[in-house]
Structure 1
Amino acid sequence: MAHPRSRRLRALAVPLGLALTASLGFLPNAATAASPDAAPADGPQLSYVVNTTPGHATAGKVEKAISRAGGKVIVAHEQIGVIVVHSANPQFAATMRTVPGVQTAGATRTAPLKATGTTDVGKPQKVDLSTSQLAAAGKAAKANGQEPLEPLQWDLPAIKADQAAKVNPGSRKVTVGIIDTGVDDTHPDLKANFSARQSANCVGGVADTSKGAWRPWDPASDYHGTHVAGTIAAARNGVGVAGVAPGVKISAIKVSEPETSLFYAESVVCAFVFAADHGVAVTNNSYYVDPWMFNCKDDADQAAIIDAVGRAASYAQRKGVLNVAAAGNSGLDLAATKLTDSGSPNDSTPVERAVNPKTCWDVPTQLPGTVTVAATGVQKRKSYYSNYGLGQIDVAAPGGDSKQVPELPAKNGNILSTMPGGDWAYLAGTSMATPHVAGVAALIKSAHPKASPQEIQWLLKEQADNPGCPTDDATCTGTKHVNSHFGYGIVDALDAVKK
């Protein structure tokens, strides 16, 4: 998979209940600004975002300046004013910041294009149960009319998703776009609900909609998106597990680089725009944009990343898309006045730095309008690894916790879902919590087809059940109604279809 990625998608996906840790680094800005006509210099070829006033006229003028500065336009999203560029000119970003019409510009990475590397974010825990456990699960499933492995899914009754499915399993007119490592749409639990026409490979910034382009690069390591997909909408078809919204559609928008599984800004921008333009109702974002765990507004390159991804996310919201994102797995208080990031940039050499959460954002998690999700365990306590923060967390959902263990037949505190190749496995992380919320949001959209993203978010919060702060955990602050661990509470799938 990828690097100290543990954090997001990685952070997000803390397999086997392992806490994700991420680090931040420092990417210095160009020391001097150059004129728009400066001669390009030789350096590593990087990818950049150049953010302009939206519109064709401005884009045309800026593209000429890009060429003069030694850049090659890869794609221009004129509707949001974001241009993706490749350049080997070390002064490219500084030069573009002096061009009329350019509002922000910066590198989206610190390593050259096509850089590769490997890191381990933890191995999935396959369904390796004793004969007696499987027999007990099968007996319970048959007696209760459940999917064969559903008795091992403690997370579904935790948010009343099992009851909700009997009232309204979700509408086929509602699609959840999974912005992730790709999805194995051939999985028997997923293929009935998969929408190929709303799927693409956005790696590099240009949407590839050719058949199968959305599938994982390497099924053995890029399993994250497939696991997320099952939690959202695994079909109730007599096979394997069940999803929170088993009647809705899912699509895959792949944004992870091959080999490294890094999620760069240009790919994520493409994904939000693609989702918006292809009728997706909800996006699931169980990751953070690499190479920075936090992007700081006082760094010109990182400010450009916030700007570009923020424009794309806002565009999606204006087109009716609700964006749901993982809070992260580093156990951080996102409302603190200072945090330490020691893992960024994760595509080159990380450098420890102090960051101020008020000006340094986890993207897309902390973008305006995004639903930020914390993880809980079977005891309805915050998962030990989950980030938290008063005013930062919107809602919570089951993400798994190896320290909170359910009774038999499951006896595993993590989240069971689909894996590439027709398999199933347990994982844990805020990556696993987020698809529960995306699924409930899809149920709300199914019950209220005309609801806007803002209205769906209001309903998620209003219907959530808040257990309140544990008396033995001083990190939880706030009230019974809104607090740092659960936000407005743990989402409720049954209320989503009944209210």
Structure 2
Amino acid sequence: MALPLGVALVSAVAFLPGTASARPAAVPDTPASVSQALGLPTADAASMSYVVNVRPGKGSAERAKKAIAKAGGDVVIAYDKIGVIVVHSANPDFAKTIRKVKGVDSAGATRTAPLSAQADDALESERPLTAQEAKAAAGKASAGQDELEPLQWDLPAMKADKAHKVSLGSSKVTVGVLDSGVDDTHPDIAPNFDREASASCLGGVPVQKGDAWRPVAGESDHGMHVAGTIAAAKNGTGVTGVAPGVKVASLKVAEPATGMYYTEAVVCGFMWAADHGVDVTNNSYYTDPWLFNCKTDADQKALVDAVGRASKYAERKGAVNVAAAGNAKTDLAQDEILDESSPDDTTPVPRVIKTKDCLDLPSQLPGVVTVSATGAKGIKSSYSNYGNGVVDIAAPGGDSTKYQAPNAPAVDGRILSTLPGGKFGYKAGTSMASPHAAGVAALLKSTHPHASAARIKALLYRQADAMACTKPYDYDADGKVDAVCEGGRNKNGFYGVGMADALDAVRK
């Protein structure tokens, strides 16, 4: 499965692979298979999920819907504002047939396994915070600090601790977390949770009933960790978020059993966020089942088109979209990359992809802020992807304590944040770097409430603290160069324009 782009580190780094204008009163044209999590019946065993992308205009959409029915497809939901239709069909020639219809730009399967045959691949667990660490941290907290803040080396790394003395951010700003769900009952999340902007998007259909945005027992805690990094409340206890005064919303897009982030759910997440006033979206994942989606492949092109249309729509509506660069320590700027993990919902088939044709979704889409990770010593994290002209900005994502140990009183080189059930724990990954940058974007939006998404991004880049290439880069000190950074001090492949700066973000 495509891991959300956060990795759990034990003794060393563990590398893991990666709307409608308003919520519908009822799910339109829903076949028997949206998802068990939505409380709907199960799909036919042979059914596949598709996206059909049509040209703007009512005529193209209506013509496509008629052709979809004729080809044996059932419309799950249609996002008419961007011309994306989610469909289920058991016809193996469905996509090939629909691509011939006038007004259809692209169509393709969003997965390679039938809806009822998804594999279960549990995520590796994080390291929980120990009672001894919590007690020791509380004893070292200074006036104005939350109890666990002394363990958060990541906040001073981007001057967030100094920023909080100026502003905590505005409660009128909301960051949408497209992820595995957020536990809004957590004491550090509850004060800042935006219920109205939250929904489950499983199967591509937005649902709020029954607090559908929450992770249930046994589901990934990834989204919860991300949410705390962004907006854990500064309330005297627990941890502190980068922007502890802003709101956070949960857009649940990861399948409960598999942890997969499929196109239809990602599209729904962007659309729901756009139409419910979300100012920043955080995307710490890649869209399954392909690590890279190649526009030269008809199915994968449809996925690029669908997610691209949704992310552009969100940006047009004012949202800054922030995404993780990935954890494969790969130079994304090279001409060709060996992809050995795709498709990750059936049997991977090694392939060499050409980067001019193939994109990691959503991080490499136009307009999306791509974030690399740094560790406690202020250099690129051992696992972080990089690439001159690909990475836009850097932020703390943590690393193995063995490679980048923090200064005392912090004790772990990973990122400490919230977990479900009122708990806390450490994780590391570009998944953890992205929410740090998203938090800074939220502080910027708080300082400049009327600024467009383009303006917020420009300020985010302009205010970043430049970081020169790390040369030689030998993270494990074995005498061998582990990666080569290209570019200059003001912009390079490891750090983009540099470290996201929270303090500058709150200065008017």
Residues 14 and 393 of structure 1: CA distance in aligned 2, closer, same or farther (over 3 Å): farther
Structure 1 counterpart of 2:434, which letter? T
What is the CA deviation profile of residues 131-185 of structure 1, one whole-angstrom value per residue up to 9, with x for unaligned ones?
A: 4x544422221x3321010000000011111111111100111000000000000
State the partner residue of 1:30.
none
Matches within 5 A, 1:68-467: 68-128=70-130, 131=132, 133-141=133-141, 143-218=142-217, 220-402=218-400, 403-467=403-467
Whether the 8 Å CA contact 1:481–1:488 is kept in 2: the answer is: yes
| 1: CA distance, partners of 2:206 / 2:406 | 42
Structure 2 counterpart of 1:214, which letter? W
State the partner residue of 2:493.
484
Matches within 5 A, 1:468-483: 468-473=468-473, 475-483=484-492
| 1: CA distance, partners of 2:179 / 2:428 | 16
Shift of 1:13: 4.0
| 1: CA distance, partners of 2:205 / 2:120 | 24
CA RMSD of aligned residues (A): 1.5
3-state SS of paired residue (1:230): helix
Shift of 1:18: 2.9
3-state SS of paired residue (2:432): helix
What is the CA deviation profile of residues 235-261 of structure 1, one whole-angstrom value per residue up to 9, with x for unaligned ones?
A: 011220000000000000001112101
Structure 2 counterpart of 1:12, which letter? G
Residues 54 and 458 of structure 1: CA distance in aligned 2, closer, same or farther (over 3 Å): same
TM-score by length of 2: 0.90
Structure 1: state its 5+ residue gaps: 24-41
| 1: CA distance, partners of 2:398 / 2:69 | 49
Structure 2: state its 5+ residue gaps: 19-43, 474-482
Greater relative contact order structure (CA < 8 Å, 6+ sep): 1
Structure 2 counterpart of 1:452, which letter? S
| 1: CA distance, partners of 2:274 / 2:176 | 10
Whether the 8 Å CA contact 1:13–1:20 is kept in 2: the answer is: yes
2:56 paired with 1:57? no
Residues 86 and 481 of structure 1: CA distance in aligned 2, closer, same or farther (over 3 Å): same
Structure 1 counterpart of 2:361, which letter? V
What is the CA deviation profile of residues 397-440 of structure 1, one whole-angstrom value per residue up to 9, with x for unaligned ones?
A: 00001110113322200000000011000000000000000000
Shift of 1:472: 1.4
2:504 paired with 1:495? yes
Question: Which one of the candidate residues 17, 22, 46 is aligned to 2:17?
Answer: 22
Whether the 8 Å CA contact 2:326–2:385 is kept in 1: the answer is: yes
| 1: CA distance, partners of 2:16 / 2:389 | 22
| Sequence identity (%) | 56
3-state SS of paired residue (1:47): strand
Whether the 8 Å CA contact 2:271–2:313 is kept in 1: the answer is: yes
| 2: CA distance, partners of 1:186 / 1:116 | 30
3-state SS of paired residue (2:251): strand
Whether the 8 Å CA contact 1:18–1:122 is kept in 2: the answer is: no
Shift of 1:14: 4.4
| 2: CA distance, partners of 1:449 / 1:310 | 26
Whether the 8 Å CA contact 2:7–2:16 is kept in 1: the answer is: no
| 2: CA distance, partners of 1:215 / 1:127 | 22
| 2: CA distance, partners of 1:287 / 1:18 | 18
Whether the 8 Å CA contact 1:216–1:222 is kept in 2: the answer is: yes
Shift of 1:19: 4.3
3-state SS of paired residue (1:144): coil
Whether the 8 Å CA contact 1:276–1:321 is kept in 2: the answer is: yes
Structure 1 counterpart of 2:13, which letter? L
3-state SS of paired residue (1:354): strand
Deviates more, 1:400-409 or 1:479-488: 400-409
| 1: CA distance, partners of 2:116 / 2:281 | 27
| 2: CA distance, partners of 1:267 / 1:237 | 33
Deviates more, 1:226-235 or 1:202-211: 202-211
Whether the 8 Å CA contact 1:380–1:467 is kept in 2: the answer is: no
Structure 1 counterpart of 2:165, which letter? K
| 2: CA distance, partners of 1:497 / 1:408 | 27
Whether the 8 Å CA contact 1:43–1:90 is kept in 2: the answer is: no
State the partner residue of 2:29.
none
Q: How many residues align?
A: 471
Structure 2 counterpart of 1:484, which letter? G
